[in-house]
Amino acid sequence: MKLIVTGGAGFIGSNFVHHVIEHTDHHVTVLDKLTYAGNLASLDGLPDDRFTFVKGDIADAALVDELVAGADAVVHYAAESHNDNSLDDPKPFLDTNIIGTYTLLEAVRRHSVRFHHISTDEVYGDLELDDPNRFTEATPYNPSSPYSSTKAGSDLLVRAWVRSFGVQATISNCSNNYGPYQHVEKFIPRQITNVLRGERPKLYGAGLNVRDWIHADDHSSAVLTILDKGAIGETYLIGADGEKNNKDVVELILEQLGQPADAYDHVNDRPGHDLRYAIDSTKLRTELGWQPRYTDFTAGLAATIDWYRDNEAWWAPQKDATEARYAAQGQ
């Protein structure tokens, strides 16, 4: 297959590109705007005969149409995705997540190209800490930030284009990813790189907010499974039963890096900070036969720490500017 991967120089997009090259014979064309979160170094080492990079905006209709016309499928990772940034300036989230998704949908509609849309569990809002339930494909949308609202809007656009125009599309909503190539503004790499630099990790509020963690490689294998086997028009939730609260994650990072478990600082909580996310991926596992490989979060985190320790040249250029921005926000 000839795949277009939007946002393929970003965190989960680049992990998917590496996964596809390693596990299939597909050719991948990455379309990425290379905003601050995109990094060409994340695509180093890919074979020239199976990989092409195009710098561009998914809202550029002419460019998107040209690329989609020669493709078999589009896997749409490109998104503005950082909650803190969406609270500071929502407009880029509307431009990319809404207008960009619309532009892609119109192109795949014109050229009858298969489309898979990557989304987030944050569209469902949050759960109480003591709630026994988890998100399912039937959970009503209840987004709480500009980021999650625009992702919810893009999901609904995909559903409408399937129903109204017969676009051959699927959707996946995934829990929080961790692993290689993640920008240091995000929770886990920020704490890891702080400790590696001899600085204390930062924890929002009391740190009791729960996230359902999945290794990016497991997310990649799930998306490839959906692309191959998923039923058109269906939504699949991707999760690896990795619920951990933020306090436990920080303490585990410190422990694995040989530091005291309490060697972190509390900072002001994020406005509207969701309490808990939890994914029920039964549909994906039973209907499509997918299973995660990283079922032990501790082992997956150790591998992630090793990657950041070994790849300081990749993350160091981002670090100072990121921490300066957080410091200005009191975080």
- Full DSSP string of 123-180: GG----TT----B-TTSPP---SHHHHHHHHHHHHHHHHHHHH---EEEEEE-EEEST
In this structure, is residue 263 part of a structural domain? no
Q: Are strands 210-215 and 243-245 parallel, antiparallel or unpaired?
A: antiparallel
What local confidence, expressed as pLDDT, does residue 306 receive?
98
Rounded Cα distance between 73 and 50, Å, is: 15
Query: What's the token pair of residue 191?
Result: 């704490």
Assign 18 a pLDDT band (cuts: 50, 70, 90).
Answer: very high
Q: Is 74 within a domain?
A: yes
CATH number of the CATH domain containing 122: 3.40.50.720
Catalytic residues: 121-122, 147
pLDDT at residue 271 in the model: 78
- At residue 274, the pLDDT reads 84
For residue 57, pLDDT over 90 is answered with yes
* Residue 159 included in any domain: yes
- Number of domains into which the chain is organized: 1
Q: How confident is the model at residue 51 (pLDDT cuts 50, 70, 90)?
A: very high
Please state the rounded mean pLDDT for residues 310-315. Answer: 96
Task: Assign 84 a pLDDT band (cuts: 50, 70, 90).
Answer: confident
Q: Is the pLDDT of residue 37 over 80?
A: yes
Identify whether 100 is part of a domain: yes
Residue 168: the pLDDT is 98
Assess contact for 327 and 205: CB atoms under 8 A: no
Question: Using CA atoms, how far apart are residues 275 and 280, in angstroms rounded to an integer?
Answer: 17
- The whole-model pTM stands at 0.94
Structural domain that includes position 74: 2-182+213-238
pLDDT, mean of residues 159-179: 97
CA atoms of 250 and 264, how far apart (whole Å): 8
Q: Is residue 19 assigned to a domain?
A: yes
* Contact of 76 with 104, CB cutoff 8 Å: yes
Instruction: Judge whether 293 lies within some domain.
Output: no
Instruction: Name the residue among 202, 190, 308, 290 with its Cα closest to residue 238.
Output: 290
Task: Tell me, yes or no, whether 309 lies in a domain.
Answer: no
| Number of CB atoms found within 10 A of residue 316's CB | 13
Give the full edge-to-edge strand order of the sheet including 243-245: 176-178, 210-215, 243-245
For residue 227, what pLDDT band results from cuts at 50, 70 and 90? very high
Three-state DSSP state, 75? strand
In a domain, 190, yes or no: no
Q: What's the Rg (C-alpha) of the chain?
A: 19
